[in-house]
């Protein structure tokens, strides 16, 4: 082989080597962008947590190549402590609780909405909201439950000052206190609403299940920046679980999650008989954001400028 032919052969081999390595280089770059850090989702035991718990129980996260753990807490206080301590990097919460968190920790941002709703449940002898004047109602003053209670009392022309409000952090403890007669009514979320109903309590009011009621998915901005693709996959999996709920017309597909939350047999019957449809994860409406933050500010849970842009995170697929 002549010297010129050898040079040409070497050049061709070099080009082929470079071209052949391009797919591998591309995959390496994509993997670096996706990030492989473990996602730890913090939740309380409510409807907003259902998609994540369902996905964990069905191993849907791992089948979509993301490493996810779900930690369920009894109260917003416990969840907020876990967020502050760095024990979780993603969480299911509500807008009011988030506002109190955002006051201290600006690295956490809103990803989008989650399904969920509040209900006002009372001892069965109270037939109407108006019957609760002078009675004791349990709530969590630092969550959206107080905002909901004030709203529903106003609609029924009952002054907030005319009821006795008792701080009880956990929904499960409120259900027990209602059953024992220590309180007359409580603001709860499902499956605790259904658990209370299973104990003989009466649901006086419940938010419309298909509406945006303030439950949200939040995430640590620094974590999502390093794990952008994993965050997108996470949202996609949560939406798949919401589709399962909608396809069944209710909680029939969430039996394992209900057991995880310790719902009673009677409570499970009530909740699985419900006919509901939830929206997929989508952007929080500015009007809902501002309303919750203004309320939080009035309760001294938040201070500073109310900025939708500052406290929301852009995630591909969340529209």
The whole-angstrom separation of Cα 125 and Cα 257 is: 31
Q: Measuring CA to CA, which residue among 302, 110, 95 is closest to residue 213?
A: 95
| For residue 26, cis peptide bond before it (omega within 30 degrees of 0) | no
- pLDDT score at 226: 94
Tens digits of pLDDT across the chain (319 residues): 444 443 444 343 443 333 343 343 333 333 334 457 899 999 999 999 999 999 999 999 999 999 999 999 999 999 999 999 999 999 999 999 999 998 777 899 999 999 999 999 999 999 999 999 999 999 999 999 999 999 999 999 999 999 999 999 999 999 999 999 999 999 999 999 999 999 999 999 999 999 999 999 999 999 999 999 999 999 999 999 999 999 988 888 888 888 888 888 888 888 888 888 999 999 999 999 999 999 999 999 999 899 999 999 999 999 9
Q: What's the confidence (pLDDT) of residue 259?
A: 83
Distance CA 216, CA 46 (A): 12
* C-alpha distances in Å from residue 180, one per residue of 54, 97, 175, 201, 265: 31, 28, 9, 11, 19
DSSP string covering 55-90: HHHTTHHHHTT--EEEEEESSHHHHHHHHHTTS-SE
Residue with tokens 């939080």: 296
Output the pLDDT for position 103.
77
Cα dihedral 175, 177, 180, 186, rounded to 10, equals -60
Supply the pLDDT for residue 19.
37
pLDDT at position 81 is: 94
pLDDT at 6: 39
Tokens representing residue 219 in the block: 């995430």
């Amino acid at each position: 082989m002549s010297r010129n032919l050898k040079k040409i052969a070497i050049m061709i081999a070099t080009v082929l080597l470079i071209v052949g390595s391009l797919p591998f280089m591309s995959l390496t770059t994509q993997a670096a962008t996706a990030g492989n850090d473990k996602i730890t989702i913090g939740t309380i035991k409510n409807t907003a947590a259902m998609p994540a718990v369902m996905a964990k129980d069905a191993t849907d996260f791992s089948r979509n190549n993301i490493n996810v753990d779900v930690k369920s807490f009894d109260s917003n206080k416990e969840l907020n402590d876990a967020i502050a301590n760095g024990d979780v990097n993603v969480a299911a919460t509500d807008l009011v609780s988030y506002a109190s968190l955002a006051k201290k920790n600006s690295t956490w941002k809103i990803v989008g909405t989650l399904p969920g709703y509040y209900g006002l449940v009372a001892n069965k002898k109270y037939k109407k909201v108006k019957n609760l004047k002078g009675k004791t109602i349990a709530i969590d003053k630092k969550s959206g439950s107080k905002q909901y209670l004030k709203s529903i009392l106003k609609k029924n022309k009952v002054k907030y000052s005319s009821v006795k409000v008792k701080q009880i952090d956990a929904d499960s403890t409120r259900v027990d206190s209602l059953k024992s007669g220590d309180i007359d009514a409580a603001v709860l979320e499902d499956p605790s609403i259904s658990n209370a109903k299973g104990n003989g309590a009466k649901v006086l009011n419940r938010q419309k299940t298909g509406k945006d009621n303030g439950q949200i998915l939040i995430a640590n901005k620094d974590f999502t920046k390093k794990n952008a693709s994993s965050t997108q996959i996470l949202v996609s999996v949560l939406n798949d679980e919401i589709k399962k709920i909608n396809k069944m017309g209710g909680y029939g597909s969430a039996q394992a999650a209900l057991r995880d939350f310790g719902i009673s047999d009677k409570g499970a019957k009530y909740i699985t008989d419900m006919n509901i449809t939830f929206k997929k994860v989508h952007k929080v409406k500015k009007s809902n954001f501002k309303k919750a933050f203004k309320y939080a500010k009035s309760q001294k849970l938040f201070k500073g400028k109310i900025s939708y842009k500052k406290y929301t995170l852009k995630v591909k697929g969340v529209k």
